A and B are shown apart, each in its own frame.
Chain A
Amino acid sequence: MKPFAYLRPATVEEAVRARATHPGSAFLGGGTNLVDLMKLGVSGPELLIDVGRLPLDRIEELPDGGLRIGATVRNSDLAAAPAVRERYPVLSQALLAGASGQLRNAATTGGNLLQRTRCLYFQDVSVPCNKRRPGSGCPAVEGVHRDLAVLGHSAHCVATQPSDMAVALAALDAAVEVTGPDGDRTVPVTAFHRLPGEHPERDTVLEPGELITAVRLPPPRPLAHGHYRKARDRASYAFALVSVAALLEVRDGVVHHAALAYGGLAPRPWRAAAAEEALRGAPATADAFGRAADAELSAARPLRDNGFKVELARRLTVSVLARLAARHR
């Protein structure tokens, strides 16, 4: 590990100022991913600005009935919060499907959104990787890529975004509150992560120096049911092969509202707009759910060894939606 300086600012303003004046600096949240990457030599900040103890650790009720989750709220606390468990169970389920108890105790809401891909090549500095070293190449296309993307990838990068939480947030139409040298802005979670295109080194639309301060949830739809399901190699402590976050509202046997997002398929939590479009007004039947999944997944471009993800995503979609529909009967 290379030597680095450590700073623990007391306020958001101080943190943003420090980041702006030190180009080689990085924000540190729970450290569950960044510290690993520093040990691996993937990341080498000269200054760590510890934002994990900024006063952003509250979950606030919003006047519109939504929630505002501070960026330093720990994943464990968020998953256990009664407001989340009762009104946004899909988010609680997604959080609890991720990592391990110890990691969830450390990981923050803001940091979770910024965790980097677990592509094995990205984590190995002795091999090329366009995300880590732009222009060096992508061994994953021909190499070990069973866990990598089938949607949204480019010739330059086939990595997936690993967060479970982000998938639920995408389905919930959450928004990320950001502050930076140029002021505050709000970015929908679905637009927060970038597709790699020719610049896989940039995971998100955050500008240098910007800091996540909160995640905002719109009020829950009172009649919609939600569920998160994750398929994985072992029963705990494994990243998603494919996961689905779904919200469904059925009236008189017909889909009135549907929100669907996938994890494990793409470089970002994949909000399934085409599937939602197909679901709107469709009968709440397994056939219709399957057609909706197909509408989304027909765009998939699997690699040699990860075509199974398309079928797995389809099956998960039908199963989760059917389960949610059954709750409306």
Chain B
Amino acid sequence: MSHDPQPVPPKAPGHPLGAASARREGRAKVTGAARYAAEHAPPHRVHAWPVPATVARGRITAVDTADALALPGVHAVLTHENAPRLEQAEDPAVAVLQGPAVPHRGWYVALAVADSLETARAAAEAVRVTYDAEEYDVTLTADHPDRYLPKEVNGGHPGTRERGDFDAAYAGALVTVDATYTLTALHNHPMEPHASTAWWDGGHLTVHDSSQGSTKARDDLAALFGRDRRDVTVVAEHIGGGFGSKGTLRPQAVLAAMAAQVTGRPVTLALPRREMPAVVGHRAPTLQRVRLGAGADGVLTALAHEVVTHTSTVKEFVEQAAVPARVMYTSPHSRTVHRVVALDVPSPSWMRAPGEAPGMYALESAMDELAVLLDLDPVELRLRNEPATEPDSGRPFSSRGLARALREGADRFGWRPRDPRPGVRREGDLLLGTGVAAATYPVLIFPSSAEAFAAPDGGFRIRINATDLGTGARTVLGQIAAEVLGAPEERVRVEIGRSDLPDAFLAGGSSGTGSWGWAVHKACSALKAELSRRQEPLPQEGVTVSADTREEIAAGTPYARHAFGAHFAEVQVDTVTGEIRVRRMLGMFAAGRILNPRTARSQFIGGMTMGIGMALTEHSTMDPVVGGFAERDLASYHLPVCADVHTIEAHWLDEDDPHLNPMGSKGIGEIGIVGAAAAVGNAVHHALGVRLRTLPLTPDAVLPHLP
């Protein structure tokens, strides 16, 4: 990131909301004072190390723990034969050590617990597991015989939607695009691995967990261990990223709690990086066929988006990649279909913008193909397909800033004048090109509750079980409270990240600020009203007001609510090596009111950078020979590094949407990745003159197409 093209504006005095406030915990983090889940060391703490299955499918026939238990300092080795029995799990992926079945390679089959991390690791390596290995199938194909139509896909969307008569409209279209895009599996790989420190105190379980939502984690742990939720506390104070992979309870929390139960000691378990790809979810690979039919004016008459993906035999999770096609463009005749096959692979799960990220890569690439076919500017093509209402539902948009984002983004980027001819801009060995793609992400809001407290000394405190993944949630909630209370931010304390705080939804679906902020806003508004009613000074114990947003959110909305955006990218393709690098990238977003430009910018460019990785470098290969993911460390799983990200800018429109929440905000955590890979891919086509439809665009993929 060579420079910051958009200096953070100075804080507006008296108006905390919209100010570029610095992260409240920033100093604690950079000085090492902030403690993460594995860094909590209660007295007598011991360490655990898991044992992953080495077969892709089968049954455990024997576990020999004698050598492991003989090591000095080993407290226990848990296996399916001796581990505590769990109650029925809502998510079968966390029902660990409950039986001999191995559903995929890397599934946990034992856990060693010892005085030191090193001994636990040595003990785990000394556990001998014997399997009855079975035939396995880990290879996704478009015509896999076991594929089926799921009723629902992730997010609760119907698996299939048909409007009008796609086949007839497509057959009658003047211009058609029929293209299939292939996306590999991807992994979230947050900086902080999934980790827990757990202990039992009498009948009470406390877990420091690297979790995106400790309210739900608490409820799930209580259910699994057959306890009342009051008997479980989950703390998630600081989280080193999650990108969706920590949105659900993960095996480390369950294993740590089990081990603590068995040993009577606090237990820390941090998942080894190499084991994470098998047990904390991944973005499932998708094979996506997009067909577009249009008139000579480029207006779509027919749109089909058909997705084939995989899930595991453990549970059904269907990446909803065809769902954004139900939102984006006018399309009187439309078919959006998901097909899924259950393979002997690890369970897929949420990864930043599930559905939208892969789906918009395919749809926005296909739109670019249509623009090229029609010799129409791709920005203009999108403007011509702006729908009056949400295509699939017919509902009006609460606001739809796509057209403005495209226009203003194009101006800022210097999109025009643009020679549309592909493969003609040379700079030495380099071919240059530019590309555009649209972005969308739904506005999701979930019920949450919060407490606001006024102290007699004029200070305030808000309490809510929000989670700060590093995004700035703590900071922005303080800004919301300060704005409502008319108080300086530094007079508002913010307590988040503990399940004994008022219940709140997890940090996921870009819903945090809207959901939590609404509850904070409501509590602070009530507190302010209460304070203005009072004549006398506050009592010694202060005044506390609680609020929750169940009613407001249950009331629903007649509007289709989405954030939109536009990505512009300039790439270079090295005609000697096929190496592609992004020279500059600009995102223009329409996401309601931006509450903190400093933290928002980080979210946007973080998402865009992840999109560059999706386009150019990241891939998780399902290795058919051993039946597991191949790249399992940060040397082989290629996240973009600083040298891959040159000039990157994020801008946003001032959007005034009264149909969202009291702050007028839309979620911004995910939209940055949506469409980013398509903008890069479209720029590659413009540079190279060849359409490459399989990601990532590594040199080996590009080489056969070089001039």
Contacts and interface: CB of A to CB of B under 8 A. Distances in A.
A315 B636 contact: no
B8 interface: no
Interface in A151-192: none
B638 A236 contact: no
Given A234-B644, A311-B703, A312-B578, A120 B630 contact: yes
Interface in A194-214: none
A30 B118 CA distance: 21
Contact of B699 (A126, A143, A239, A308): A308
Contacts of A236: 641-644
A237 interface: yes
Contact of B700 (A40, A124, A127, A308): A308
Contacts of A144: 621, 623, 625, 630
A121 to B, nearest CB: 8
A328 interface: no
B63 to A, nearest CB: 16
Contact of B576 (A146, A305, A308, A315): A315
A143 B636 contact: no
Contacts of B139: none
A305 B54 CA distance: 25
B630 A233 contact: no
Nearest to A139: B625
Interface in B643-691: 643-644
A123 B581 CA distance: 29
A1 B118 contact: yes
B219 to A, nearest CB: 35
A237 B633 CA distance: 13
Interface string A120-135: 1001101100000000
Interface in B572-618: 576-579, 581, 616-617
A117 to B, nearest CB: 12
B120 to A, nearest CB: 11
B698 interface: yes
Interface string A94-137: 00000000000000000000000010100110110000000000
A326 to B, nearest CB: 12
A41 B616 contact: no
Contacts of A234: 616-617, 638, 640-641, 643-644
B644 A235 contact: yes
Interface in A1-40: 1-3, 40
Nearest to B621: A144
B626 A139 contact: yes
A182 B344 CA distance: 55
B274 to A, nearest CB: 8
A39 to B, nearest CB: 8
Contacts of A139: 623, 625-626
A316 B699 CA distance: 12
A43 interface: no
A238 interface: yes
A235 B698 CA distance: 11
A256 interface: no
Contact of B703 (A127, A238, A305, A312): A312
A312 B125 CA distance: 41
A143 B54 contact: no
Contacts of A312: 577-578, 699-700, 703
Contacts of B703: 308, 311-312, 315
A231 B579 contact: yes
B47 interface: no
Contact of B636 (A3, A118, A127, A235): A118
B33 interface: no
Contacts of A305: 700
Contacts of B617: 233-234
Q: What 8 A-B pairs come out closest when comparing CB atoms? A: A235-B643, A143-B625, A231-B577, A236-B643, A308-B700, A126-B54, A319-B576, A144-B630
Interface of B: 52, 54, 118, 121-122, 125, 274, 429, 576-579, 581, 616-617, 621, 623-626, 630-633, 635-636, 638, 640-644, 698-700, 703-704, 706
Interface of A: 1-3, 40-41, 118, 120, 123-124, 126-127, 139, 142-144, 146, 231-239, 241, 305-306, 308, 311-312, 315-316, 319
11 contacts: A120-B630, A123-B633, A126-B54, A139-B623, A233-B638, A235-B581, A235-B643, A235-B644, A308-B699, A308-B704, A316-B576
